């Protein structure tokens, strides 16, 4: 006997309808989970490099995924143009002055694309350009404090992020030092045309001209010493003559005091003086004229001796200053010759006591 189920077609059709209903529900749930039926707002941006970013990369804001990267293309300026979308649930966060920040871990722990909302009141229109944090426009917005950037608590990332600028500054410093040393070496070799080369050239010219100058100074010193020696000889001669005159005056005084001497005999009324004076005072006037001339000569000699005594300290000081200048010039020559940049400067000179110290300190009255 055949077994026949009543309403078999209806039961099969019911199962098919239920299966289709479950399929539709599952598709709707999957679509809802994948945001097939949600409204997404699309925007564009530009990166310097696509390293760390790829289509499908999530856009995070304080740990929440608010959008994703849709497309990356290399533009004519070798930059990377990107298209991304923001979910409709977070569209109210996309305000004016908002930026994107692509952070790449320096120790290979991946990358993150962060969204920082702006402080503006107006919402960005769909399709607007959103700058990145490393761009000029983004840096300007950050400097003006128009972007809400939360503090980062990744100490290692912040420290490692500061290593690269430090290394770049160190490299620049080393390059600057190398250029400076090269310029100094070229200047010392006489190959530089800059200010340092001019200074070295002037020093070399001065060092070359210094021996001639020293010879001239030594000639002047020799001439001054010769003149001083001549003045001293003349002063000695004058002093000797004064001593001779003083001796003659002493002898004359003694003769006058002697009652039996020649002077007394001459002064006798009947002596030779009476005979000489008996000519209307002509001999007296002649003698007085001679005595006046002698007095003038003695006064002139005294003035010369006084002036010479007054100038002796100045002459001695001039000689000492000249010798000091010669020593300093010799030190400069030795410093240039030894090259202070390499050999350590000028050799210390032992001071020599002045030979004219006693003459300067003595009294010339």
Distance CA 48, CA 50 (A): 7
How crowded is residue 338: how many other Cβ atoms within 10 Å of its Cβ?
14
354 lies in the same domain as 223 = yes
Among 192, 212, 244, the domain-final residue is: 192
Answer yes or no: do 126 and 167 share one domain. no
* pLDDT score at 3: 47
Nearest-angstrom CA–CA distance, 90 and 111: 22
- Given a cut of 60, whether residue 22 has pLDDT beyond it is yes
In percent, the amount of the chain with pLDDT more than 70 equals 67
Task: Give the mean pLDDT of 186-197.
Answer: 65
Q: Is residue 4 part of a domain?
A: no
Domain identity same for 61 and 127: yes
Is residue 36 pLDDT above 80, yes or no? no
The answer, yes or no, to whether residue 272 has pLDDT greater than 60, is: no
pTM: 0.37
Same domain, 352 and 209: yes
**How many angstroms separate the CA atoms of 113 and 100, rounded?**
7
Residue 307 sits in the same domain as residue 219 = yes
Strands 58-61 and 99-104, by their bridges, are unpaired
pLDDT at residue 93 tops 50 = yes
Q: What is the pLDDT of residues 194-229, one digit of tens each?
A: 665 666 666 667 667 767 777 777 777 777 777 777
Q: Are 326 and 218 in contact (CB under 8 A)?
A: yes
Q: Cβ neighbours of residue 184 under 8 Å, at least 6 residues apart? A: 196, 341
Residues 178 and 245 in one domain: no
CA angle at 89 for the pair 69 and 70, rounded to the nearest 5°: 10
Residues in the chain: 365
Confidence of residue 233 (pLDDT cuts 50, 70, 90): confident
Comparing 110 with 238, the larger pLDDT belongs to 238
Q: Is residue 250 in a domain?
A: yes
Instruction: Please give the residue range of the domain that contains residue 105.
Output: 38-150
pLDDT of residue 261: 60
In DSSP terms, 82 is beta-bridged to 45, 72
The answer to whether residue 6 is domain-embedded is no
- How many structural domains compose the chain? 3
Helices (H), the chain: 8-33, 136-143, 155-188, 195-257, 262-267, 272-277, 282-338, 340-343, 357-361
Instruction: Give yes or no: residues 350 and 321 share one domain.
Output: yes
Tokens of 172: 């620049």
On whether both 126 and 52 belong to a single domain, the answer is yes
> Is there a single domain that holds both residue 303 and residue 222?
yes
Please give the share of the chain, as a percent, with pLDDT higher than 90.
12
Q: If pLDDT is split at 50, 70 and 90, which confidence band does 157 have?
A: low
> Are 351 and 204 members of one domain?
yes
What digits encode the pLDDT tens for the residues 78-92? Answer: 889 999 999 888 889
Return the higher-pLDDT residue of 2 and 177.
Answer: 177
Q: Which residue has the tokens 């006046």?
A: 292
Cβ neighbors of 30 (< 8 A, separation 6 or more) are: 36
Radius of gyration for the alpha carbons in the chain, expressed in angstroms and rounded: 57
Domain membership of residue 30 (yes or no) is no
User: In whole numbers, what is the pLDDT of the chain averaged over residues?
Assistant: 76
300 and 306 Cβ atoms separated by less than 8 Å: no
Quickly count: other Cβ atoms within 10 Å of residue 312's Cβ. Answer: 19
Residue 1 scores a pLDDT above 50: no
| pLDDT digit string, tens, across residues 8-19 | 777 888 888 888
Q: Which is more confidently placed, 41 or 251? A: 41
């Amino acid at each position: 006997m055949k077994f026949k189920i009543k309403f078999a077609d209806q039961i099969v059709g019911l199962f098919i309808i239920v299966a289709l209903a479950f399929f539709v529900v599952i598709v709707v749930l999957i679509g809802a989970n994948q945001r097939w039926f949600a409204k997404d707002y699309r925007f564009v941006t530009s990166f310097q490099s696509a390293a760390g970013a790829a289509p499908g990369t999530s856009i995070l804001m304080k740990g929440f995924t608010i959008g994703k990267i849709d497309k990356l293309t290399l533009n004519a300026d070798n930059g990377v143009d990107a298209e991304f979308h923001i979910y409709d649930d977070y569209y109210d966060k996309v305000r004016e002055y908002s930026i994107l920040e692509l952070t790449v871990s320096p120790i290979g722990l991946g990358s993150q694309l962060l969204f920082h909302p702006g402080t503006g009141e107006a919402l960005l229109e769909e399709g607007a350009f959103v700058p990145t944090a490393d761009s000029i426009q983004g840096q300007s917005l950050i400097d003006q404090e128009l972007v809400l950037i939360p503090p980062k608590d990744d100490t290692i990332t912040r420290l490692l992020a500061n290593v690269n600028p430090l290394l770049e500054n160190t490299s620049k410093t080393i390059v600057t030092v190398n250029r400076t040393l090269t310029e100094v070496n070229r200047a010392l070799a006489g190959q530089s045309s800059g200010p340092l080369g001019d200074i070295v050239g002037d020093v070399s010219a001065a060092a070359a001209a210094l021996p001639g100058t020293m010879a001239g100074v030594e000639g002047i010193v020799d001439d001054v010493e010769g003149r001083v020696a001549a003045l001293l000889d003349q002063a000695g001669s004058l002093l000797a003559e004064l001593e001779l005159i003083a001796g003659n005056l002493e002898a004359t005084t003694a003769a006058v005091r002697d009652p039996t001497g020649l002077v007394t005999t001459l002064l006798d009324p009947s002596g030779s003086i009476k005979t000489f004076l008996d000519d209307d005072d002509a001999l007296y006037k002649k003698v007085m004229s001679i005595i006046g001339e002698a007095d003038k000569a003695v006064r002139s000699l005294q003035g010369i001796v006084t002036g010479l005594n007054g100038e002796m300290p100045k002459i001695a000081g001039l000689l000492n200053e000249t010798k000091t200048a010669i020593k300093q010039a010799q030190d400069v020559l030795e410093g240039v010759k030894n090259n202070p940049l390499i050999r350590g400067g000028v050799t210390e000179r032992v001071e020599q006591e002045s030979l004219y110290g006693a003459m300067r300190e003595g009294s010339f009255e």
